[in-house]
Amino acid sequence: MKRIVSLALVGLCLLVCSCGPTTQVVVTDRAGAPVAGAKVRALSFALNKDRPKITDGKGRVSVPWTTEKVRWLNVSAQGFKRSVAIFKGEKEQTVVLNRPGEGGASPDPAGEPPPPDVPLEEPALPAN
């Protein structure tokens, strides 16, 4: 009986810890078509080494956040310019990627620039 109660408490703690606020990030091209396989990294002044999350076939990915940490979304995909968008902290946020040669700035021109240590290219990740 004690074991069942202990396991139930551990399960409850895991559920509570994993249920933080999240934002559905939708990555599209300029025409509004979803970009599958885009890499989305949540960035802050202290949070720049997380593994990127990969968008699904609808260009969507769920990004967990807390308002004091996440400030930018670093989004990249093959065949597109990298974009650094200001994180808005809403339930859903769309990031539009430009192809090389298309107009528009890649970094979010309406907000503050990314921190100076944001890499221009995605670092190579170790194989699992």
Between the CA of residue 25 and those of 3, 12, 45, 112, 128, what are the distances in Å? 40, 27, 20, 19, 25
* Position 5 in a domain: no
CATH of the domain at 41: 2.60.40.1120
Number of domain units in the chain = 1
* Position 123 in a domain: no
* Position 7 in a domain: no
pLDDT in tens, the chain (128 residues): 666 655 555 554 444 444 567 889 999 999 999 999 999 988 877 756 567 899 999 999 998 866 557 888 899 999 999 999 988 888 999 999 999 888 665 444 444 555 545 554 444 444 54
pLDDT score recorded for residue 14: 46
* Position 106 in a domain: no
* Position 112 in a domain: no
* Position 51 in a domain: yes
Domain extent for 76: 22-97
| The model scores a pTM over 0.75 | no
Query: Measured between alpha carbons, how far is 67 from 48 in angstroms, rounded to an integer?
Result: 15
